[in-house]
Amino acid sequence: MFRPLLGTFFGVALGYLVQGPLGAGLGAVLGCAAGGLLAAFSPIVTNVPTGTPVVQDKQPVLCENRGRVAEATFVRDAKTGSWLDVAECTLCTPQEAVTCAKRCLVLMRDVAPASAYPVHA
């Protein structure tokens, strides 16, 4: 979510330094596009290190791929509360075999950040 904004900021700054106001406008467009591409190609799932205490949190979430509401079980770090992975989804068959792109994980990170949504053990 923040990568396109960060790319836009750096594009504006670099464009203004190199070419002035016109360069700042062009830098904003190119920086936003570069930030969006960087966000699109970065991995969604965070690898869970061995020994990390995790909890599972079941939440209703909108599936962007199917356009339906699903009940997904998310894996969270028990200490920091960060969203790590999707363990189960009611739209997958079987529910434990989540083979989609897991865009709901990105949605949960944006809507319910770890700092504002505490872990329920």
Above 80 in pLDDT, residue 64? yes
Specify the pTM: 0.64
**What stretches of the chain adopt beta strand conformation (E)?**
54-63, 68-77, 83-89
Distance of CA 48 to the CA centre of its chain: 16
How far is residue 8 from each of residues 18, 33, 35, measured CA to CA in Å? 15, 8, 7
Predicted confidence at residue 71, as pLDDT, reads: 94
Q: Which has more pLDDT, 20 or 43?
A: 20
Above 80 in pLDDT, residue 37? no
Domain locations along the chain: 2-41, 54-111
H or E stretch covering 104: helix 103-111
Dump pLDDT digits (tens) for 70-98.
999 999 888 888 888 899 999 998 988 88
